[in-house]
Amino acid sequence: MGAAGQLLCAVVMGSPGSGKHTLCLLITRHFALKKFSSGDLLRDNIKRGTQAGVLAWPFMKRGALIRDNIMTPLTLQELEHLAPCSWLLSGFPRNLPQAEALERAYQTHLVLHLNVPFEAIMQRPSDRWVHPPSGRVYDVVFNPPKVVGVDDLTGEPLTGEARG
């Protein structure tokens, strides 16, 4: 809950690799917000073989943005589950039609836009390791795993897969 017991609906925007995921994790550790990542939502739907996941997979495989007619309803439907909670949304919206759809469905109280230099964004994917089953992200500079290439919690191997 935000001030005076009201819900807070917030969005973190920025280019892929700008640090949205890391910032959301830091914020949700200190405030009573549910983190909601469009990338996590997509990966989960692909893993479960849902219709949205099947439709999204070809786009994700080639690193393209997911079409609005897939991403918008999927995200808004998932946000319905968080309606009684304050939430922090990462990775959505990515364009004006998505932002307008979000604003029609929910009153957004705060939008943070991360303006990161292009050179820094280009370096980050090479510094990033991911534990695919959980979505945990490690960074060799800011958040390295205890053992290189190994997930801290499970001991399973990490991949160099980028996160959006």
Average pLDDT, integer, range 81-97: 91
**Cβ 153 vs Cβ 134: under 8 Å:** yes
At CA 54, angle to CA 49 and CA 55, rounded to 5?
Answer: 150
Tokens representing 153 are 């919690």
Alpha-carbon gap, residue 90 to 21, rounded angstroms: 7
pLDDT in tens, 34-87: 988 898 899 899 989 999 999 999 988 887 889 999 999 999 999 998 878 899
Which homologous superfamily does the CATH classification assign to the domain defined by 3-116?
P-loop containing nucleotide triphosphate hydrolases (3.40.50.300)
Residues 6+ apart with CB under 8 A from 8: 1, 2, 33, 86, 87, 109, 110
- Rounded to two decimals, what is the model's pTM? 0.73
- Which residue has tokens 């609005």? 68
Residues 127 and 139 sit within 8 Å (Cβ to Cβ): yes
Q: Crossing angle for the helix pair 68-81 and 96-105, nearest 10 degrees?
A: 30
Where do the structural domains in the chain lie, given as residue ranges? Answer: 3-116
Residues 17, 19: Cα–Cα separation, whole Å: 6
